Amino acid sequence: MKLIHTISETRNQVLRARLRGWKIGLVPTMGALHDGHMSLVRRAKAECEFVVVSIFVNPTQFGPGEDFDKYPRTLVEDVEKCRISDVDVVFTPSASEMYPEGFNSWVEVKGYLTETLEGEFRPGHFRGVTTVCAKLFNIVQPTCAYFGQKDYQQLKVVQKMVNDLSMPLEIVPCEIVREPDGLAMSSRNSYLSPEERKAAVVLSRALSKARAAVTEGERNAAAVQEIAEGVIRLEPLASIDYVALRDAETLQPIDRIRKPAVLLLAVRIGKTRLIDNAFIPTN
Ligand code: AMP
């Protein structure tokens, strides 16, 4: 496994693999790797002969007052996890390698998909995400890039960018990995105090209860949302940013569940903002 900090050396390494006709897999991350990230790596390893994991806490996707400075950085442990998983290249650029002096080009998906939900609560967030992903795709030129459904809206935004700009790669969505009690794994879970950690299970519990209601025949979107909200409101440490049942493709609001939908949550547990979601099939 090679640990590389520069764009040029990453390009050199990937070029050698590409000349051998190998499939190239890219797993973009911000580090503090947990088993959610590693499930993406395992999928990439299963499908590609050469796997690159990028570790970059991307400053342009954090707004003012967000947690860029305190975001967990555990590079030594991350590199060890990648080595054990037989990753070929870990690409950990500095901010100045990715955004040198004078950098002034942005890739932005416009419209509802980036204005709603996370886009509303975190203005500019998706512009940072799409710009860094476009850059990583250009550097690595992967056959496939692996994204978690944990960040469902991000996955849809990146898929849209790739389709709109005819980028020559496949985006592979991967299942959400959860702790035994249901909490979706997240690097931000490390911010939670023991008491908050217990309270945080309310997100997945709300999703399960809402999904169970749909399984039992509930089709009214407001009613399904209300079930999830009711569960979260019972937890004193939780405050809701949004609970939204949306069309699974467009993320537009729906009145009734007729097509595949997704229930998306953003909830603050104390000062920590967590997101989670559940796919709601029609049958
Ligand atoms: P991050 O480091 O938070 O930017 O996440 C990097 C990638 O890992 C993104 O595609 C996330 O959606 C994915 N990811 C994060 N947490 C999980 C999880 N619990 N299950 C599956 N994928 C995840």
- In the reported structure, the alpha carbon of residue 177 is separated from the centroid of ligand 1 by a whole-number distance in angstroms of 9
- 212-241 pLDDT, tens digit per residue, is 999 999 999 999 999 999 999 999 999 999
Q: Which of 151, 185, 207, 276 to mutate to test the pocket of ligand 1 (most atoms within 8 A of CB)?
A: 151
The residue nearest atom 14 of ligand 1, judged by CA position, is 148
The residue nearest atom 8 of ligand 1, judged by CA position, is 37
- In the reported structure, the alpha carbon of residue 80 is separated from the centroid of ligand 1 by a whole-number distance in angstroms of 18
Q: What percent of the chain has pLDDT over 70?
A: 100
In angstroms, the Cα distances linking 252 to 6, 69, 182, 242 are: 40, 33, 27, 14
CA angle 218, 220, 224 (to 5 degrees): 70
5 is catalytic: no
Question: Does residue 32 surpass a pLDDT of 80?
Answer: yes
Q: Please, what are the domains in the chain?
A: 2-174 (3.40.50.620), 187-278 (3.30.1300.10)
Residue 217: both structure tokens together = 């025949």
Quote the CA–CA distance of 135 and 278 in Å, as a whole number.
30
CB 125 within 8 A of CB 118: yes
Residue 265: both structure tokens together = 């949550």
- 156-209 pLDDT, tens digit per residue, is 999 999 999 999 999 999 999 999 999 999 999 999 999 999 999 999 999 999
Quote the CA–CA distance of 153 and 265 in Å, as a whole number.
11
The residue nearest atom 22 of ligand 1, judged by CA position, is 148
Q: Which of 35, 37, 204 to mutate to test the pocket of ligand 1 (most atoms within 8 A of CB)?
A: 37
CB 4 within 8 A of CB 92: yes
User: pLDDT-based confidence at 281, cuts 50/70/90?
Assistant: confident
Which atom of ligand 1 lies at the shortest distance from residue 146's CA? 10
With both helix axes pointing from N to C terminus, report the angle between 152-164 and 125-140 in degrees, rounded to the nearest 10: 60
pTM: 0.98
Which atom of ligand 1 lies at the shortest distance from residue 147's CA? 10
Query: Which residues, at least 6 apart from 265, have a Cβ–Cβ distance to it below 8 Å?
Result: 203, 206, 207, 228, 232, 240, 242, 243, 244, 274, 275, 276, 277
Residues near ligand 1 (Cβ within 6 A): 29-30, 36-37, 39-40, 147-148, 150-151, 174, 176-177, 184-187
Single-letter residue type at 197: R
Quote the CA–CA distance of 41 and 44 in Å, as a whole number.
5
Quote the CA–CA distance of 126 and 207 in Å, as a whole number.
24
Quote the CA–CA distance of 184 and 259 in Å, as a whole number.
25
The residue nearest atom 11 of ligand 1, judged by CA position, is 148
Candidates 3, 13, 25; CA nearest to 83 is 3
Residue 253: both structure tokens together = 């609001």
- In the reported structure, the alpha carbon of residue 87 is separated from the centroid of ligand 1 by a whole-number distance in angstroms of 17
Quote the CA–CA distance of 173 and 39 in Å, as a whole number.
11
Which atom of ligand 1 lies at the shortest distance from residue 175's CA? 21
